[in-house]
Amino acid sequence: MPYKLKIKGTIVSDDISWIYELFDIDHTSPSMVEKALDNANGDDLEILINSPGDLYSMVLKFTLPLKIIQEIQRLKL
């Protein structure tokens, strides 16, 4: 079973992530993604994207050479 990386809500910097956490607002920050990728520990990775913006390149940068299974739930263009 692949490790799941859920990217949802607004993409925010690590500096302001705490505000979104304080008000329980869906968001994703670089450190959240990095932590999830580290936790995958070489296992297959299933990426669930439900967020505006182009995240594909950023995710590939951190995940290679893992086998990547992608599911894009919704993109707001």
| pLDDT tens readout for residues 18-44 | 999 999 998 989 898 888 888 888 777
- Report phi then psi at 59, rounded to 5: -65, -45
| Residue 31 structure tokens | 């450190």
Residue 77's pLDDT is 45
Residue 25's pLDDT is 93
Q: Which of 4-8, 11-15, 40-44, 68-72 has the highest mean pLDDT?
A: 11-15
Instruction: Answer yes or no: are the C-beta atoms of 11 and 58 closer than 8 Å.
Output: no
How many domains does one find in the chain? Answer: 1
Give the residue numbers spanning the domain of 51.
Answer: 3-74
Of how many residues is the chain composed? 77
Q: How many angstroms separate the CA atoms of 65 and 74, rounded?
A: 25
Q: Average pLDDT of the chain? A: 75
